[in-house]
């Protein structure tokens, strides 16, 4: 189940990035809900919100480390198959893989989801964020039950 989630999110991330790249020019914005939600193609050479611009090697190393670390947890079976903990790691893994593919093949990450009040992002970023929130919840919950 964990790997199905990972591959589904990774596939969706790469598919939507391909769609955005084929249908939008760089920095072109297409309003879907005017003033609220647009598709805006950007190339992010930094981390979240564009911080640490042009540190591609650092992001590649960090992504590979996170991917190997998560795969190590899965290999050691230190999780319950359908737990919030395992799902959170699957989401983080998918997001890290999605953005790593971009960095390795393009030298930047393709972002296109634009809510106007937040920096432009992608499916991989969303998976990492949701995964991190679920991971935090899982860790806090497990601490309370012991």
| Residues marked as catalytic | 111, 125
Catalogue the long-range contacts made by 46-50 (C-beta closer than 8 Å, 24 or more residues apart).
48/119, 48/125, 49/119, 50/119
The DSSP 8-state label assigned to residue 89 in this structure reads H
Task: Outline where the chain has alpha helix (H).
Answer: 2-23, 56-75, 84-106, 123-145
- Tokens in use for 98? 């999605």
């Amino acid at each position: 189940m964990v790997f199905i989630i990972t591959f589904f999110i990774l596939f969706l991330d790469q598919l939507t990035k391909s769609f955005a790249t084929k249908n939008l020019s760089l920095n072109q914005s297409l309003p879907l809900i005017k003033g609220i939600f647009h598709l805006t193609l950007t190339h992010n050479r930094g981390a979240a919100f564009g911080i640490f611009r042009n540190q591609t090697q650092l992001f590649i190393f960090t992504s590979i480390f996170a991917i190997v670390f998560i795969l190590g947890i899965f290999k050691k079976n230190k999780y319950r198959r359908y737990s919030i903990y395992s799902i959170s790691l699957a989401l983080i893994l998918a997001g890290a893989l999605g953005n790593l593919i971009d960095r390795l093949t393009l030298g930047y990450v393709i972002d296109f989801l634009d809510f106007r009040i937040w920096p432009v992002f992608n499916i991989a970023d969303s998976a990492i964020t949701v995964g991190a929130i679920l991971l935090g919840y899982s860790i806090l919950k497990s601490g309370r039950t012991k």
